[in-house]
Amino acid sequence: MLLDGVSVGVVMTGSHCTVGAVFPALKILKNEGALITVVLSYTINYTDNRFQTVEELKTRIAEISDLGIITSITDAEPIGPQKLFDVVVVAPCTGNTLAKMANSIIDTPALMAIKAQLRNQRPVVVALSTNDGLGLNAKNLGYLLNAKNVYFVPFRQDDPVNKSTSLIADMDKMLDTVIWALQGKQLQPVLLGPVDNVG
């Protein structure tokens, strides 16, 4: 197995429409031997929405999480001193979380987990899902693309005509991105072309 015994912290933030696409990728990590702990942002921990209720979300998480769910800043803080994770995967990563990462704002369990991981100079893998990745958040994306120990699941514009600033990670590339990040390398190409919807 490619990730046998690798401890993975999965940070989930409030891009509710993308959460469903994240779970198949996480199941692949688990099937490759990863030991998964999930960290929830406040938004995703407390908000029922048209895609799933919080109860439904936590039921799905229980199927892939080996070590439970972290839902508070206090519970996320030991990730640093105890060196709990070999890699942290932020999936989905909202524009809000992206901006706060770039500006060292730590006000949710999700951001505390990211900060704690980076403190240990260990990899953080970001799977974008944001409507403003090429808008006001482009400067934060540019900064993090060049930040030490931050790696991106390759991403693309998901609807260039109707949402020209929107970016979405290709969740099918999560496993490969994690494997490369554990070696200190960015999977390439990081910027993908549009999906071919013809036929």
User: What is the second-level CATH architecture of the domain 7-182?
Assistant: 3-Layer(aba) Sandwich (3.40)
Mean pLDDT by 10 residues, the chain (199 residues): 96 85 95 96 83 84 86 96 97 96 97 97 97 96 98 96 95 98 98 71
CB 193 within 8 A of CB 156: yes
In this prediction, residue 198 carries a pLDDT of 41
In this prediction, residue 196 carries a pLDDT of 66
- The residues, ordered by sequence, that sit 6+ positions from 88 with a Cβ below 8 Å of its Cβ are 8, 9, 10, 11, 79, 113, 114, 117, 122, 123, 124, 125
Task: Return the sign of the alpha-carbon dihedral for residues 39, 36, 89, 168.
Answer: negative
Q: Burial, 102: exposed, middle or buried (Cβ in 10 Å; 0-12, 13-18, 19+)? A: middle
In this prediction, residue 16 carries a pLDDT of 77
What is the domain partition of the chain in residue ranges?
7-182
- Strand-pairing partners, residue 12, are 40
Q: Is 41 helix (H, G, I), strand (E, B) or coil?
A: coil
Task: Return the sign of the alpha-carbon dihedral for residues 115, 121, 123, 127.
Answer: positive
Instruction: Give the Cα separation of 158 and 102 in Å (integer).
Output: 23
- The residues, ordered by sequence, that sit 6+ positions from 10 with a Cβ below 8 Å of its Cβ are 26, 36, 37, 38, 39, 65, 88, 89, 91
